[in-house]
Amino acid sequence: MKIKIVNKSKHQLPAYETMLSAGMDLRANIDKPVTLKPLERILIKTGLFIELPEGHEAQIRPRSGLAYKHGITVLNTPGTIDADYRGEIGIILINLSSEDFVIKDGERICQMIIAKHEKAELIEVKSLNETERGVGGFGHTGK
């Protein structure tokens, strides 16, 4: 699949880090380092603009290393970039640790996964088919 991208950042295009990677790392495109304090959230720009084909979305997800080592994650995970969005990709990061974290220009801050999706037609009905699970919710199946 080919995706059109405009790169107004100072950095290389996103790329898959290994042959079997599902996500491409996106980099911070900032003029100076930004300190993210504990429980603080911030919008970090990437300088990237994409044109996705109809029926596809770009999902923005945290990087596991940042999450595990520093408590930095993407606040609206997964974030969705719709096929008709043409603005700059911005990433909402949050610091869930108890220590300040400094984001530097060019730092890999998240992953972007391209995924197909279906359009659903909702059909209003009075009742749903019964299942063995029924209305059992969070944790009802045990450990």
Residue labelled with tokens 């084909």 = 53
Question: Is the Cα torsion angle 107, 21, 115, 67 positive or negative in sign?
Answer: negative
- Residues 6 or more apart in contact with residue 109 via CB below 8 angstroms: 26, 27, 28, 44, 63, 66, 72, 91, 93, 103
Give the Cα separation of 45 and 143 in Å (integer). Answer: 41
pTM metric for this prediction:
0.88
Taking the chain (143 residues) in runs of 10, the rounded mean pLDDT of each run is: 97 95 97 98 98 98 96 95 98 98 98 96 95 77 65
Model pLDDT, residue 132: 83
Looking at residue 65, the DSSP 8-state letter turns out to be H
Predicted local confidence at residue 138, as pLDDT: 72
Output Rg (C-alpha) for the chain, integer angstroms. Answer: 19
User: For the chain, what is the largest distance between any 2 Cα atoms, rounded to a whole number of angstroms?
Assistant: 57
Question: What phi and psi values does residue 67 have, to the nearest 5 degrees?
Answer: -65, -50
Structure tokens of 95?
Answer: 């610091």
**Spatial separation of the C-alpha atoms in residues 56 and 47, rounded to whole Å:** 21
What structural domains does the chain harbor? 4-116 (2.70.40.10)
pLDDT at 67: 96
Instruction: Please tell me the distance from the alpha carbon of residue 75 to that of residue 43, in angstroms, as a whole number.
Output: 10
Could you tell me if 51 and 82 are in contact, meaning their C-beta atoms sit under 8 angstroms apart?
A: no
Q: Which residues pair with residue 41 across a beta bridge? A: 94
pLDDT at 24: 97
